[in-house]
Structure formats: C-alpha cells, structure tokens
Chain A
Amino acid sequence: MNSELSREQILDMLPAFALGALEPEEMLLVEDYLEQNSDLLPELHLAEEAVAQLAHAAPMTPLPADAKARLMSRVEADRRPAPAPPVAAAETVGAGWLDTVRAWFTPLNGWTVVAGAAAAILVIVLLSTGQLQSRLDRLTDEVADLQTMVSELQTANSQLQQTNQVLEQRLQTDQARLTFIANTSPQQTFQVPATANSPTANANGTLYVGNDNDALLLLQGLEPLAADQTYELWVARAGDTIPTSAGLIDLQPDNNDWFLVSLPLTSQDVNVVGLSIEPAGGSPGPGPSGPIVLHTR
C-alpha cells in the first residue's frame, strides 16, 4: 500500500489529513505511509499546529458564568485524598491542648475518628461511582446512536447499490442504442401512426430497420400499461394474413422511448408494422389478441 502514493503526494495530502478532510481510505493510506516513514512526522505536526490555529477564528461566545466552578467542583471530588499531614510534635503543644489530643485518642473517640474517615471515603467512592455510572450511561447512549447510524448507513448503502445496478443496466441499454444509431444506416423506415384504438390521438411510432434483423423503435405519445398488460410489436410481409411477433415492448415511466428490437424478418421482407396491447407475457395466439394501437397504412 505504501507504494501507491509518492512522498510528494503524501505531503500534498498532509493539510487535509490534519483537518480530517480526507476520505477514510485516504486517511488509512496516509497513516500507513507515516507509520513507515516517520521522517514526515514533523511536517504532520506542523500541519496540525496550523489546523489548531483555526480554533481562534471561531466567533466569540460568552462563557457560562458558573462553568469553571462546576468543573473544579467535579475535579476536586475526583482528586485522590491528599496525604495526611504529619502529627505536630508534642513539645510544641501546651499541656491543655495535649490533654485534648490525648482525649481524642481514647479508644471510643479513636473509633469515632476512624468511622468518620471511613464515611468520608465512602462518600467519595459513591460520588465517583455515580459519576462513572453517569459517564457509562452516556457512553452507552453514544454507542446506541452509533449503531443506529451504522444501520442507517448500511441501509443507504444497500439502496445505493440497487440504484447503481439499475443505472448500469440503463447505461448498457443506452450504449447499445447509441451504437446502433452510430453504426447503422437504416435500410427502411416505417412511420406507424395511431389507430382508432389508440388511447391518445397523437400516439405514433417510427421503426428504423437496419441491415440485419436489428431495428430501432421510437414511440411517442403512449403511456405505460398496467402490470397485467404489455405492448407487443408485430411485423408482416406483403400479403401475410397473420403478422409475426417482434417481441414485447416494456414501456416504463422513466424510460427513454427507444427500443432495440430483433425482427423475425429481414429488412427487405418487412412491409407492415403494428403495435398492440396484450396480456402480460404477450398474445396467446399466433397474431394479436388485443387492440392494435399503432399500424402502418
């Protein structure tokens, strides 16, 4: 992976790397390179310092008045207890005070002091535990949020992959159409106007027939059909009583209205062209079973 990018390319990417503005795979490439080429680390640190300066460009916002006090209160509660100060030397204490100190360290009061210290420690531990629990709860929520985001991203990725497949199929179809148009000189062109059965008066088609059996059908003014119906293209020789099917035409709302078809007749034999509405799967008979909406005259 190190050989994929040159040193100059890595140097060019360092500002964006320091900003965190690279794509994930680019970040990994740069990290990998830096691990193996530590001589670039000073350049990275320089870029990070420059990035840090951008913090000063943020507009001024008044600090909450008690923010410092809240922070320091939490910090003091978290601090380890300071070591106990040494006991003062007995000779510096007056007799009255010494008696008082001795009185405190009678067995009963000694236990009282120990109990008080234990209670204080317990309070500190409970406070710390409470803070840790609060932090744990917050982290748990963050993990749940991240898991939700991951799930949403996975769903979006799946949808994008499906869309990508559809677009690739359309691209292939369009490329085939363009290839036909670019490479084929039509041997015959048929204008296929609407009939009395056509749902719209301005519906029409044009069939461009190439050298072989390939042809390009252009439809205008026709609407997509219900799921249980389909358009079917028909061609016939002069004198034929029953036309031959040239295939089903799947007209969709977001399609281009160009269709590449493979004719059952050669270009010289095609004399009549028609389009009918049939049940899904096409006409059950040898010829059209439904209304003919376009027909050459």
Chain B
Amino acid sequence: MDHLSDENLLQKIAQQDSAALELLYDRHAQTVFNLIGRIVRDMAIADELLQETFWQVWQQADRYRGEGSAAAWMYRIARNKSLDQLRRQKARPQPLETGSEADDQAVWDQLPADNAEVEPVVEQRRDSNAVRQALQEIPSEQRQCLELAYFEGMSQRQIAEHTATPLGTVKTRIKMGMEKMERFLRAEGYRTEDFY
C-alpha cells in the first residue's frame, strides 16, 4: 500500500480501510500538526484539532472529488478548523515551543528503527525546507502578508489595517507573493504534484 498515492488512499478510506488512513496519517500528520500548532498556539487544542482533522478525513473521504491534491484538501480541513478555533479564542494561551532547532531534532529522534517508516518524515522535512527556502526569496513585506492571511486568517483589509499599509498595496503583495512562490518552486524543479 506504500506505493499508493494520497488520492488512492482516500478512495480506500472511503471504503472504511483503516490501514489506508494510518498510512495517510504517517505521511501528513506532522505537517498538519505543525500547521494547526502555528495557528492556535496551544498544545492541547492542537492535539484535539489534529484528531478532529483526521477523523473528518475518515468520515468524509467520499467527499473528496479530486479537484486539487488530497493533501491540499486535508490541509484545508485542518486550517479551517484551526481558524475557527482561533476566532473563538478570547485570549491567546501560552505559545507552543515551536520552530526551534531542538524541536526539529526531537522529530528526528522520533524516527522509528524500521526504515520503511523513515521516508515519510524525511520527505516532509525536505518539502518544508523547500517551501521555507521559497518564502525566504520573497520580499519580507509580501511574505508577511501571506503569513498573516494563511496563519492568522486575516482578510486583505485586516492586513492593511494591521500593517498600516494601503489596501491596494496589500492586494499587490499577496498576488505577487503567491506568484513568486509558485515560480520559484517550478524553477527549482518542483511540480506541485511532487509534494503529495
């Protein structure tokens, strides 16, 4: 089953194949948890939302219609749940200890002895590095707008107010930032389907 694409795994999950869900979890749980943790910044809530995301994948795999990659579909579920939670939170809790080199190393320390299970984690690290590299190439003002929109759920108007920037400038930065990121990844030899 390791050779199956994410999309094929979703088809199997729609037929109640739990092994397919387990494999999909192994491939993407780390990315999903990173995403959720970045948005809600609370370990307990992130844990719950991780469960809810994959539970929704299990329950609604038959709703995936193949428009876009399966991973993008899952990440959208995780992001929507996280942003809904963020909007409900009255005050930010203590931040997760995220993004440190120690945490990156902790993930490596969790690698199982069985080499067959190593590859999903290695692939996820490579993809994260590639995207982070792409973001570093983008001017900081454009990158800030993308991160505020993606991780904070802000609208362009809210970003403009938050950064004291004209709305037209924010719109341009988002458009150009996304175009730059996609162009950079293609120039590095990545195709979007390579990610998933």
Contacts and interface: CB of A to CB of B under 8 A. Distances in A.
Given A50-B178, A52-B75, A23 B157 contact: yes
Given A59-B103, A72-B18, A45 B55 contact: no
B88 A67 contact: no
Interface string A43-68: 00111111111111111111110011
A57 B129 CA distance: 8
Given A58-B151, A59-B99, A51 B130 contact: no
Interface residues of B, number: 74
Contact of B37 (A46, A61, A67, A72): A61
Interface string B63-100: 00001110110011011000110011000000010111
A22 interface: yes
A292 to B, nearest CB: 49
Given A15-B175, A75-B58, A55 B16 contact: no
A53 B98 contact: no
B174 interface: yes
B72 A52 contact: yes
Contacts of A22: 155-156
Interface stretch (A76-84, A156-164, A208-216, A278-286): A76-84
Nearest to A76: B18
22 contacts: A16-B174, A19-B178, A20-B149, A21-B154, A21-B155, A21-B156, A41-B67, A49-B72, A51-B150, A52-B71, A53-B134, A55-B79, A56-B128, A56-B130, A60-B103, A63-B50, A64-B47, A64-B50, A67-B47, A74-B55, A75-B58, A142-B88
10 closest A-B pairs (Cβ-Cβ)?
A59-B99, A52-B72, A58-B38, A58-B34, A56-B131, A15-B178, A61-B37, A21-B149, A59-B98, A56-B128
Given A54-B146, A58-B34, A59-B99, 6 more contacts: A22-B156, A41-B67, A59-B103, A61-B38, A68-B29, A79-B16
Interface of A: 12, 15-16, 18-23, 41, 45-64, 67-68, 70-72, 74-76, 78-80, 142, 145, 149
